[in-house]
Every structure is written in structure tokens, then in C-alpha cells.
Amino acid sequence: MKKGALILIIALLALTLVFSSCNKAQNGEPPTPTDSGKLKTTGSYVVDTMKDLLSLEVSEADAIVILKGYHEVGDGGGGTFYFDAASTKEPDGALVIKPTAATENGRFIRDCEQGYVNVKWFGAKGNGMTDDTKAIQAAIDSLGTGGGTVVLPGGNYPITSTLNIGDGDSGEKISSKNGIKFIGTGGGFSHNTASATTIKANAEMEVMLSLNGRISDCEIAGIYLFGNDRAKTCLELKSFSGGYFHNIKAMGFTDTGIKLLAGNEPTGNYNIYNRFESINVTCLKDETTGILFDGNYSAHNDTWLTTVTDCRFDTAQSENSIAAHFKFVDSISFYRCHFNTYKDSSVGAVFDALDNNLFPCGMAFHDCSMVSHEVWEDSTHTIRKQYFIGFGTYDNEKVPTHPKLIGVTDTGDFFNIDSIDLLLAGLKNNGGSGGGEDDGMGEYTLPAKAGRVDTYTMGSDTHHNLKDGDTIAVLLNAKNKLTGGSFYLSSYDNNVGSIKFDVYRWDTDYETTLKGEILATDTAENFENNVQFEAKFEGLSTGYYLIVISGTAPADDYGVAVWTKGPSLTTLTFKNGELIAAGLRGQFLTE
């Protein structure tokens, strides 16, 4: 007989022995009980429920047990376990099981991918009747510091207290766990919600699902949060960054559907780099709010640099409700979102500056529909500009008339857009005190937070040669102490020449300001081409400043230049004293 054929016969015999030894497990037949009624394992076995697994007495290390269900066969809580006779791991009722017969050593260990858990492994039923709070929370808590995925199969999961993702306090305490993904099978957007993952409040509670920061890189998706008229808030997100939230529906709340809240001191507990997609929040009760965007004004922690796409915030038939409420926020972009209301007493969106002067600011709404809106201001608290591109008008939406709500409708009609001449006239008429107050120019104010602040938006790079006496100047209102700036400079490849930065206190207009005292100065000498130079300014506090940038170079040299980009939302830029539609390419430094 050939060697190859012999090997094949031996292999087939081995497979026959394996299948015969696993035959009971393959057929779902339980092992034979001992005289004491306990199960003795010598290979692979099948048990029906977790109760059976707990009662299983093991006599052989590395025994394999197939669990067919948690409460009953086929309920999704089953899986494969191996027995580790030496293990003393802390049992959690899902991934690590301590048999009833074990004294100290001996654990059944679930064979599963690290960082991936199913709530049904922890005993969640999702049947709409049994309280699943502890099971879902245990699944979340089982993840390590690096996070992982918690899966919630389709079903109805009643809860009686808040589910917490992360353990930060939105202050000094940072969450010890990040990167947590909380994933259901769908938010129930169709009329048939049978396939949705529904979490239902079955007791009075403040919040159903809470993301507790400072925390980063988390995801919540495919969930229907039903407040059941018992939860004040369905979803609360606090001090979070890099998050992704999509396919979420929130209804049945008694206060606010979704809250985005930045944290307390220290500064840095803000919300940034987050995405929201396919979110539906509907106010079913009177005097409720669909979604709230806010921060902590006193701590300089805001909600910013966030995108919201294909979402609907709706007051439905409720009275005196708000679909979306914007407070201490800036630099948020909305795409194809709808802010809807059917009752005159309710409002689609509120821009609220009453607790946070000069905010909200810099939000952009692209192809969005806002049935109605309100601006909340008083004599000392005003909003800054918000921008609308393709403002919807086909469903009787109210086109904004407030001068800080500017843009163009879906029919191409512009609204509330001032010309450059009018802006300059406004500066001459209103910008004279130099005392650090708003002076009517709030839209040209740096965000009230410490650190680096960009001074431009998008747009093409433009360099301005300063050799022949030209100047570039920037006007800003610093709400924090101004300590310097970081600017892109050009020496045209030869590292020759200098650029000077002179800082003046703004006084009435451009010409009058240049007659005043130079408060601070710095110079870049023989710098590398396209370098980012950091100018240092000493002795400055808060208030309006004009920074004039000039350059010198040898007679036979091409010169030196400073770069600008598109128009700025936070500063005004002048070339040789004339206002231009540009922003310095760089940043200001504040503390």
C-alpha cells in the first residue's frame, strides 16, 4: 500500500473516533449522570441552560461544554465554554462561570472574541417584560479599559435605572474606559418595529442611557430609546470626543430627548470631533425639547467641531416645545436636517445667548429645513452669525429675518447678507471704545477659551508680498488674555528678510488706531520658507486689538510674505487699511 493511502486511512479512522466521542454533544444528548446526580465530564458535552452549566461537576481539565441557551434553549445566551481547572478568575455570570461544586479553583471560560459581548450572555431577555437593567449594565462593565463592543439583538429591553457607559464625572475624573460600542440591530424607523432594539423605561428615571466623560471614541447605534413617559431624558452625552452616533430614535421623554453637554472644570472637558447621522427625536409631550446642544460657559467647555447629517428633530403635535435648542456651541455643521413643528406655540430651533454671550456662533446649515425659529437675546447677551446654504422654503418655513442669521434659500434668494462696505461702516460707527466690551462687533470675537484658536475658514491659500511697504492687519476681540499668534510666512526659498508684528489697541477706526501706542511687538528674522512662526505678545489683557504685519527685504531680493485663506468668522483682515474677505492662515494664542 502506498504511503499516501495509508495516511488517508489513518486520518479517516481518527475522524471516526472523534465524531463518535462527540456524538452525544453533536446530538444534543446530555452526559450520563453519576450516582449522585451530578454530571461527570470526560470530553465534550451539551447542556440546555446556565442553571445546568452551574451544576456541572467537572473531573477533566479542558473539557468543552456547549451551552444551548441562558434561560432556555435558543434564547441567544448560549455559547461554547472550556473548563480551566486552575482558574480563580472572578465569575461574572457570562464570560467566567464558577460551577456550584467548585471551592476555589475551576472556572468555565466562554470561548469568544476579546472585547465583544452580547447582552443575552449576561441574562438579558429582551422580551418586553423582564427587567434587563443589570444584565445590560454587566455587559458594558465587562469590557476592559480599551473598550469593545456590546451587542443588543433585536428585542424590547425594559430598564428600571440609568445605563452608564464610561465612569467619568465630566470634571476632574476621566473615564477609565474608552472606545465602547453599544450596538443594536436598528432604531425602528419603519412602522414595524419588531426588528428594532428597543430600550424602554419601566420606572421613573432622570436619564435612560448616559455617556460619561471625559470619554473618547465611543459609538452608539441601532437603538430605539422609548421613555415611556417615565424618563426625563433618553440619551445624555457628556464631555465626549471622536464619537459616532447613528440610527437612533428617541421618543416618550418628559423633558429632553437627547442632551449634548460639555463638562465642568478643567477646560478641555468639551465635546469635539463627533458625528451624528440618522437621528430621529420626537416630542410627544408638551413643554419638552427634542435635542439640546450646550456646554459649560464659565469653564470655557463648549460643543464644537461636530457634524449632524440626515436627522429629524420634531415637536410633532406637542405644545410649547422646542425641536432643537442651541446654547454654548460653535462650528457645528448640519446637512439635510429637518427641524419641524406643527403647532404655532412650538418652535423648530432656538438660538439662545442668554446664559452665554456671543454664543451660539458659526453654525452652518446645508440643505436644511427649519419650519420656525427664535433668537433669545437681551441687551448684554447676543448671538453671533449662523449660516444657511439652501434654506428650505417649500413647506412654509419662515425665512430668518434676524441680522445674524444669514444665507441663501433653496430658490436662490439671499437674506441678511451685508456687503463689505456695510461691515466697514459698522466698524467705524461702533468699534470705538477699545475697552474689551462687545461694541457691536461680537461676530469678530475669538472663542472664549484658552489655547490655540484658528483665524480662518476654508478657501484658497493666498500670499501677500510685504516688501514694497504693503501691510496686512487683523482685528480681533480677545475674550481671554492674548499671548501671541502662530502665522504662516514665506521668504520665497532663500530665508532672507524679516516680518514684524505690531499690536495696537483698537480705537474708533483703522487710521485712528495706527496713531496710538504700539503695545507689543515681535519680529521673524531670516526665517525658513513657509514656516509657521510663533509671535509672542507680552503685557496684553482682553479686548479689541489690531495686529499690523509689515515686512522688509534687501533691494535685490524678491521679498517676504504672509499667507491668508478664506474669510474668517472670528477676525477681520485689512490689506493696506482696506477690509478684505480673508483670514490670516494661522492661529492666535490665548490663556
The predicted pLDDT at position 25 comes to 35
Q: Is 177 helix (H, G, I), strand (E, B) or coil?
A: coil
Tell me what percent of the residues of the chain surpass a pLDDT of 90.
Answer: 69
- For residue 162, the one-letter residue type is T
Tell me if 338 sits within 8 A of 313, measured CB to CB: yes
- What fold, for 442-590? Jelly Rolls (2.60.120)
Tell me if 130 sits within 8 A of 163, measured CB to CB: no
pLDDT band at 456 (very low <50, low <70, confident <90, very high): low
The predicted pLDDT at position 443 comes to 52
Give the pLDDT mean for 48-56.
96
Taking alpha carbons only, the member of 487, 486, 482 closest to residue 503 is 482
- DSSP codes, 542-574: SEEEEEEEEEE--TTS---EEEEESPPSS-EEE
CA distance readout (Å), 288 to 226, 242, 294, 311, 316: 15, 28, 16, 18, 11
Tell me if 475 sits within 8 A of 546, measured CB to CB: yes
Please tell me the distance from the alpha carbon of residue 243 to that of residue 237, in angstroms, as a whole number. Answer: 10
Taking alpha carbons only, the member of 568, 355, 561, 540 closest to residue 464 is 561
pLDDT band at 146 (very low <50, low <70, confident <90, very high): very high
Given its phi and psi angles, is residue 547 left (phi above 0), alpha (psi -120 to 50 degrees) or beta?
A: beta
pTM higher than 0.85: no
The predicted pLDDT at position 568 comes to 72
Pairwise pLDDT comparison (403 vs 293), residue with the higher score: 293
Per-residue pLDDT for 20 more than 50?
A: no
- What fold, for 116-417? Pectate Lyase C-like (2.160.20)
Strand 205-216 to strand 244-251: parallel, antiparallel, or no bridges (unpaired)? unpaired
Give the pLDDT mean for 543-564.
92
pLDDT in tens, 253-273: 999 999 999 999 999 999 999
Range name among 14-18, 123-127, 352-356 with the lowest pLDDT average: 14-18
CA distance readout (Å), 130 to 18, 81, 143, 292: 41, 26, 24, 32
Give the pLDDT mean for 510-537.
92
Please tell me the distance from the alpha carbon of residue 182 to that of residue 189, in angstroms, as a whole number. Answer: 18
Give the pLDDT mean for 456-483.
84
Chain centre distance of CA 139: 23
Q: Is 326 helix (H, G, I), strand (E, B) or coil?
A: strand
Per-residue pLDDT for 524 more than 60?
A: yes
Please tell me the distance from the alpha carbon of residue 561 to that of residue 464, in angstroms, as a whole number. Answer: 5
Surface-to-core class of residue 50, CB atoms within 10 Å of its CB (0-12 exposed, 13-18 middle, 19+ buried): buried
Range name among 13-22, 153-162, 372-381, 446-455 with the lowest pLDDT average: 13-22
Q: In 87-98, which positions are buried (b, 16+ CB within 10 angstroms) versus exposed (e)?
A: beeebbbbbbbb
Taking alpha carbons only, the member of 426, 402, 280 closest to residue 353 is 402
User: Grid cell 510674505 — which residue?
Assistant: 561
Give the pLDDT mean for 171-197.
90
The predicted pLDDT at position 193 comes to 67
User: Grid cell 472644570 — which residue?
Assistant: 265
The predicted pLDDT at position 24 comes to 34
Per-residue pLDDT for 387 more than 80?
A: yes
Give the pLDDT mean for 337-365.
96
Please tell me the distance from the alpha carbon of residue 299 to that of residue 574, in angstroms, as a whole number. Answer: 33
The predicted pLDDT at position 428 comes to 44
Residue 276 DSSP class: E
Please tell me the distance from the alpha carbon of residue 425 to that of residue 402, in angstroms, as a whole number. Answer: 19
Per-residue pLDDT for 4 more than 60?
A: no
Taking alpha carbons only, the member of 408, 407, 411, 344 closest to residue 371 is 344
pLDDT band at 455 (very low <50, low <70, confident <90, very high): low
Give the pLDDT mean for 189-210.
90
- DSSP codes, 13-26: HHHHHHHHHTHHHH
- Domain spans, the chain: 23-110, 116-417, 442-590
**Largest distance between two CA atoms of the chain:** 108
pLDDT band at 501 (very low <50, low <70, confident <90, very high): very high
Please tell me the distance from the alpha carbon of residue 59 to that of residue 47, in angstroms, as a whole number. Answer: 16
End-to-end alpha carbon distance in the chain: 87
**336 φ, ψ to 5°?**
55, 50
Please tell me the distance from the alpha carbon of residue 29 to that of residue 48, in angstroms, as a whole number. Answer: 10
Per-residue pLDDT for 34 more than 90?
A: no
**575 φ, ψ to 5°?**
-120, 115
H helix or E strand, kind and range, residue 540:
none
Tell me if 414 sits within 8 A of 408, measured CB to CB: yes
Taking alpha carbons only, the member of 168, 150, 159 closest to residue 199 is 159
Tell me if 561 sits within 8 A of 472, measured CB to CB: no
pLDDT band at 436 (very low <50, low <70, confident <90, very high): very low
Write out the three cell numbers for 47: 447542556
Per-residue pLDDT for 434 more than 70?
A: no
Q: Is 448 helix (H, G, I), strand (E, B) or coil?
A: coil
Pairwise pLDDT comparison (307 vs 442), residue with the higher score: 307
Please tell me the distance from the alpha carbon of residue 171 to that of residue 134, in angstroms, as a whole number. Answer: 26
Q: What is the mean pLDDT of the chain?
A: 87
Please tell me the distance from the alpha carbon of residue 506 to that of residue 513, in angstroms, as a whole number. Answer: 5
Tell me if 166 sits within 8 A of 175, measured CB to CB: yes
